[in-house]
Amino acid sequence: MNNSAETLEQVNSMMDSNDLVAETMLEPGHGNYSIREKIEKLVFLIFKGAAVINGLALIIICGFVLYYGLPAMSWEFLTESPRNSMTEGGIFPCIVGTIVLSYGALLIALPWGIATAIYLNEYATSPKLVRIIRLGINNLAGVPSVVFGLFGLSLFVTVMGMGVSIMAGVCTLGALALPLVIGASEEALRSVPQTYREASLGLGATKWQTIYKVVLPAALPGMLTGAILTLSRAAGETAAIMFTAAVFFTPEMPQSLFDDVMALPYHIYVLATAGTEIEKTRHIQYGTSLVLIALVLGMNLIAIYIRAKMQKKIGR
């Protein structure tokens, strides 16, 4: 018994010594702690520097566009159609076309993206199949937009007979934005605690009732992040619509989904590269760029406001 007590006392003494050594190594001023602290400060300094550089670049770009685009701003510029070889008039048809294409792409990409995310996160049982699907989604997210434009030209414009129209452009932009919506929706679904599902199932709800009435409302604010990204991506795309929806000039506003349309990104591209009076339209180019930035910002702010209201409503 005495030997056992002595052995136990020695073990406790060794453990106390190890704890003391560990605490000493983590004390400020100790060698290892000092090195870790310096590395941590260096990494945070790099992050701060990257944030400052990105912020400055954004300020410079916006300031540059604002400086050259503000002189073009007028009520006539925002409410009239272009005239006289695009050197006069306004960009109202382009604003309408951009809004229609952006929200149309959102209406297509959001339901399909959410449905895909629900399947992958809630229903899929084969890990191999899920990996293959996610690999395809990630690859689609990295495909250049001009490839989507050619895809839309081949499928929607030619094979399906939509022609160069709003519908063809909306479908193409929806396909382009789909990976963003799926990724954001999956993350939102993963953020819902598993206890929500277990509590609902424990009360006798079916799996679909649990998803529809418990999981989706809790994940909806996060899913709206995908909607915000979709609006931003769709509003600024040029290559995806130049083959499928946008035209340089049309004298009338579109009357149906199968009419062509003018759009701000394509308007800027044409004025800056293929216009007949490039120098005379320089102020219009910057003015159109400024309107596009303001339009995207406005649409994003509306979506962010809706998301904040939903988050407040569900208390998350």
Burial class (CB in 10 A: 0-12, 13-18, 19+), 28: exposed
What confidence tens digit (pLDDT) does each residue in 233-273 have? 888 888 889 889 888 887 778 888 888 899 999 988 888 88
Q: Which pLDDT belongs to residue 296?
A: 85
Mean pLDDT of 199-218: 87
Task: Tell me what pLDDT residue 156 has.
Answer: 93
Point out which residues pair with 261 in neighbouring strands: 246
pLDDT, one tens digit per residue, over 125-142 is 888 888 998 898 888 888
Q: What is the identity of the amino acid at 262? A: M
SS3 88: strand
The predicted-structure confidence for 6-34, as pLDDT tens digits, reads as follows 554 554 555 555 554 455 554 555 555 67
Is the model's pLDDT at 49 over the cut of 70? yes
**Who wins on pLDDT, 198 or 3?**
198
* Contacting residues for 202 by C-beta, under 8 A, at least 6 apart: none
pLDDT in tens, 78-106: 888 887 767 777 888 888 999 999 989 98
